[in-house]
Amino acid sequence: MLSTGFVGYDNALDSIIVAHQGGEGQKLYVDRNVILVSNDASDANIPTSFTGLANAQGNLTNLDPKIFPNISSSIGVYQPYADLHTQCDRPFSLCPPSTDPDCYYLIACHPRSVPQVLQALSSLVQQYPDAGVTVVGYSLGGVLALLDGLLLRMLLNPTTEVRVVTYGMSRVGNDAFAGFVDAMLPESVKHIHNKRDPYGIVPAISLGYRQVSGEVHIQDSGQWIVCPGEDNADARCIAGTVNSISDAKLKDHHGPYNGITISCHS
């Protein structure tokens, strides 16, 4: 059991489940292509500007070669995401410098980085050697789920099925990263976006980021549409529906997903 998720076995699916919860801030919104946390996150307070941070390209970093050996140096991931996934030795913030004073998204040492996940997973893999592995997550947890899925695909027996299912996940890395995920996990990633959720379009493509393949977009009617490829611009897909932050609705980030609305209650 992880305090921010869990690892367990589902007998009906014959799959080991690795699950990550979302971010732990109170209210979320998107400012300048970067996911932030604010004390007030009503749709009226989502900034209409969508110009992007001048130094956002510098926030791309390489995956840790000790965790992902022999990986190309061209593969870049948003640095706070990479740090949260692999490190547990220092706190850091998702907030860019000189930004909204209400931004307080300080991420400390989470018990869901690679060592904790692998430790929780190892005994189940030995107990159920023929089972598949499904990694799931919501919002920031979806980012961790995608990175976990990529790592597990590299570590586990090639005959072990590895699947990733996320909800409300932002873009994670650059074009090389998206291509690497698509090659390593072909048709094994499903990232679901609800209506006009702003998280599906950040960080911006213009800043060097690209969404991986496997999008499923929930329409205003509630219909689920499969959107092939990376950042499909079809009007029924998230990149075609939410062209700018002014088109977004923050409340859609919480769902509903198959009738389930995700929220945090203290």
**What are 139-196's pLDDT values in tens digits?**
888 999 999 999 999 999 999 999 999 999 999 999 999 999 999 999 999 999 999 9
Q: What is the pLDDT of residue 264?
A: 57
Q: What is the pLDDT of residue 246?
A: 79
Higher pLDDT, 205 or 36: 205
Determine the Cα–Cα distance for residues 169 and 198; give it in Å rounded to an integer: 10
Q: What is the pLDDT of residue 59?
A: 81
Determine the Cα–Cα distance for residues 25 and 37; give it in Å rounded to an integer: 6
> How large is the average pLDDT for residues 248-256?
91
Is 60 exceeded by the pLDDT of residue 109? Answer: no
What is the reported pTM? 0.81
Q: Which fold has domain 5-254?
A: Rossmann fold (3.40.50)
Q: What is the pLDDT of residue 219?
A: 96
Joined together, the tokens standing for residue 178 give: 């998206």
Joined together, the tokens standing for residue 75 give: 């593969």
Q: What is the pLDDT of residue 179?
A: 97
> How large is the average pLDDT for residues 105-109?
38
Joined together, the tokens standing for residue 208 give: 């060097």
Alpha carbon distance, N-terminus to C-terminus of the chain: 21
Q: What is the pLDDT of residue 47?
A: 32
Which of 10-14, 47-51, 58-62 is predicted least confidently? 47-51
Q: What is the pLDDT of residue 237?
A: 97
Secondary structure class of 180 (helix, strand, coil) = helix
Higher pLDDT, 250 or 263: 250
> How large is the average pLDDT for residues 257-266?
76
Confidence band of 224 (pLDDT split at 50, 70, 90):
very high
Kindly state the percentage of the chain with pLDDT values over 70: 73
Determine the Cα–Cα distance for residues 149 and 187; give it in Å rounded to an integer: 13
Question: By the 8 A CB rule, do 168 and 193 touch?
Answer: yes
Is 60 exceeded by the pLDDT of residue 245? Answer: yes
Q: What is the pLDDT of residue 247?
A: 85
Q: What is the pLDDT of residue 140?
A: 85
Q: Considering the chain, what is the average pLDDT of its residues?
A: 78
Is 70 exceeded by the pLDDT of residue 45? Answer: no
Q: What is the pLDDT of residue 215?
A: 98
